[in-house]
Structures are given as C-alpha cells and as structure tokens.
Amino acid sequence: MNSYTQQFQAADKQFSNNIMRITRANHIALMLYDRSTPQHPITFLFNDGIPATLAANYSKRICLHDPLLPHAGTSDTDNIRRTDIGQTNTKRQQLESTLNSDALYQDVLSHAGYRETAAYTHGISKNLHLVVGLLLSKGARNRTQLQLDAASQLVENWLEVCADTLIESSIRQRLHNEPQHAIIDATTICRGDYGLSQREADVVNELVRGKSNKKISATLNLSEYTIENYLRNIYKKFSVHSRTELIATLAQLPK
C-alpha cells in the first residue's frame, strides 16, 4: 500500500480537507478493510489527525469491536453509519473479555477525546472494502454533529478513485512481476479472436505498462485524440467500459 499512499497523497489530502470542512469532522482516515483476515483486517491508506498510537491500537484490536465496519454476510455494504461515543465506563471494559460488543471501541474512543464517529463504506470485492472514517472531538461545539449527507457525493467520488487505483495497481503489479503474466505481446493479441488491429494492440500493450494517454501518444507518435478513439474501439471489442475493466480482462487472458 505504500506505493498507493506515495502516489496519491496530494489527491487524498485535497479530498480529506474538503470532506472535513463539509462534515465538520476533526480527523479523518481512509482504510482498507479485509474480511478474509479477521485478525488483522485494517490497513490505513491515509490518516489526517488521528494519533499514531490510536491508529495502531485500532488496527490491532479495536477494529474488531467497531460497530461501523461492514459485517460478514451484509449484502449492501455501500452505506453510511454513525455512532455517538458515550462516557468512559470502567465496568464496561470488563465486558470486552467475555462479550463481542462495541464496549471496548466506545471506551477507547471516548478516552481519546472523541464524542461521535462515522464511516462511509464501499465494497470493491467480496472481502475487500474501502472505509472513510470520520471523528468529531469532544472539544467541538456542544450541538455540533457530523454533517454526513452533505459530503456523501464527495466521499463517494474519493472511494471510487481509490478503488480504481487499487485495482489497477494490483493488476499491473501482477502483470509485471509474474513471468507467466509478463507484458502482453501485441502480436499475440492480434492472433487472438479479439478483432484488434496491429495499432490497437500496440495501444493495449502500452496501456498495461501503466502509461497515460499522453505518454502512449508520444510513444506511438499519434495524437491523444487518436489514442482516445482507439481506446473506445478496444473497449467495445472487449465489452468493457473503462481502463480498469480492460486491464482486469487482459489479466485473465490465456498466455
């Protein structure tokens, strides 16, 4: 995930600043939630303001008691959840050892100085979900609440960008790093039943290298407009609608 955070740090910062301003949140985080690894399901992709010790504690055990995360078997995981953080209660901490409840989550967040939390979730596969977590501190004005609906479209845009980025980077890494899934040979594509011209195959070969339309046009000595037209034709021939879908389809082709 380090390559993701390095490449998109500026974009994430812009999204997070706007979301915090609209929702009135004090702190925000973007996380990857993996239900297939219940002991370590959380990876922080971006964190603005949440103390490192709290983030580490959350990743190790607090997340297991977070009522805002998608639950196993939930069909509709793209939604918004919020919870009010109650006052710290020492007796409630005793429940953590015997009950699978949100008592530990409530106590830790309250002790850390928060009074309200919320999460937007976006499923990208059966087990993987992106989560934007928002925290409102006790120092905020008494009647201030997180304004979640006002920022829902902006958060959705951020999550979609993140999802596309993660999918593309993962597939490209697989194409580049595994010998049997090396860069797709244009000649091989032309010999297949995909109906691609030699030039369209050249475009595909450059695309899976991670090149932008501008770089592809420079490499092939074609205009960006021509590259866009080639891509539209390629999408139709593979029955896809985006670069992400195309790369995913190419990754499944027999070598």
For residue 123, give the CATH number of its domain.
3.30.450.40
Query: Token pair 């902006």 is at which residue?
Result: 154
CA nearest neighbour of 82 among 36, 23, 30? 23
Residues 102 and 124 in one domain: yes
State the pLDDT at residue 94.
47
Beta bridge partners of 42: 33
- How many domains, in total, are found in the chain? 2
Low-confidence ranges of the chain (pLDDT < 50): 1-2, 5, 72-73, 75, 88, 90-100, 178-183
Residues 118 and 237 in one domain: no
By the 8 A CB rule, do 226 and 239 touch? Answer: no
Sheet containing strand 80-84, strands side by side:
42-48, 27-34, 128-137, 114-123, 80-84
CA–CA dist 208, 213 (Å, integer): 12
Write out pLDDT tens, residues 131-185: 999 999 988 777 778 999 999 999 988 888 888 777 777 766 666 554 444 445 5
Residues 113 and 192 in one domain: no
Sign of CA dihedral 35, 36, 37, 42: negative
Residues 95 and 41 in one domain: yes
Q: Decide if 19 is inside a domain.
A: yes
Sign of CA dihedral 41, 45, 50, 54: positive
Q: Decide if 90 is inside a domain.
A: yes
State the pLDDT at residue 255.
55
Name the amino acid, one letter, at 149: D
Q: E strands along the chain, which residues?
A: 27-34, 42-48, 80-84, 114-123, 128-137
CA–CA dist 54, 65 (Å, integer): 14
CA–CA dist 153, 78 (Å, integer): 12
State the pLDDT at residue 205.
82
State the pLDDT at residue 90.
47
Residues 98 and 144 in one domain: yes
Query: Token pair 């939930």 is at which residue?
Result: 74
Residues 107 and 188 in one domain: no
Residues 126 and 227 in one domain: no
Phi, psi of 147 (to 5 degrees): -95, 80
State the pLDDT at residue 7.
53
* Lookup: tokens for 252: 């499944």
Q: What is the mean pLDDT of the chain?
A: 79
Read off the pTM. Answer: 0.64
The last residue of a domain, from among 130, 146, 167 = 167
Residues 123 and 196 in one domain: no
CA–CA dist 126, 36 (Å, integer): 9
Q: Decide if 172 is inside a domain.
A: no
Domain harbouring 217, CATH code: 1.10.10.10
Residue ranges making up the domain that contains 199:
180-251
State the pLDDT at residue 51.
92
Residues 56 and 138 in one domain: yes
Residues 65 and 120 in one domain: yes
CA–CA dist 251, 136 (Å, integer): 42
Residues 10 and 90 in one domain: yes
State the pLDDT at residue 173.
67
Residues 233 and 125 in one domain: no
Rounding to the nearest 10 degrees, give the CA dihedral for residues 194, 165, 71, 43: 140
